[in-house]
Amino acid sequence: ETGVTQSPTHLIKTRGQQVTLRCSSQSGHNTVSWYQQALGQGPQFIFQYYREEENGRGNFPPRFSGLQFPNYSSELNVNALELDDSALYLCASSLGLAGGPKLTDTQYFGPGTRLTVL
C-alpha cells in the first residue's frame, strides 16, 4: 500500500456534467500527477502539480483542470463530460526536493477513481 488515497472509488455521471475527483498524497510528498487510464490501455499523463503550481501537462483539453492545496492534496476537475472520458483516473504522488520535481523521482500511485459517463 502506497499511502495515496483517492475518492470516490466509483462515480457515474451523464454527458455534459462536471466532476471533481480527489487525491490525498503520501505523507510528505509535495508533487502530484494525474493519469487517465481507458479500458485496456496504459495510463496517460494529464498533468502534474508541484507546490500548488502546474508543472507540466499532457495532451488533454482545457476542460481538464486541477488544483493542489497547501497540504498537497489535489483535485482533478473535468467539465462538459464526454462519453470518452469514461476511464480509471489515477493520481500519483512523489517527493520533489529543492529545485523541483526530477525525472527520477519515484511516483506512488493511488487505487484510482472509476468514472463512467453515460
**Binding positions for another protein, rule: CB under 8 A:** 2, 4, 31, 33, 35, 40-45, 47-48, 55-58, 90, 92, 94, 101-112
Closer residue to another protein (CB): 37 or 75: 37
What's the distance, CA 103 to chain centroid?
18
As measured in angstroms, the least distance from the Cβ of 16 to another protein is: 28
Closer residue to another protein (CB): 13 or 114: 114
- CA angle, corner 38, sides to 110 and 40, nearest 5? 105
Closer residue to another protein (CB): 15 or 35: 35
- CA angle, corner 62, sides to 18 and 72, nearest 5? 75
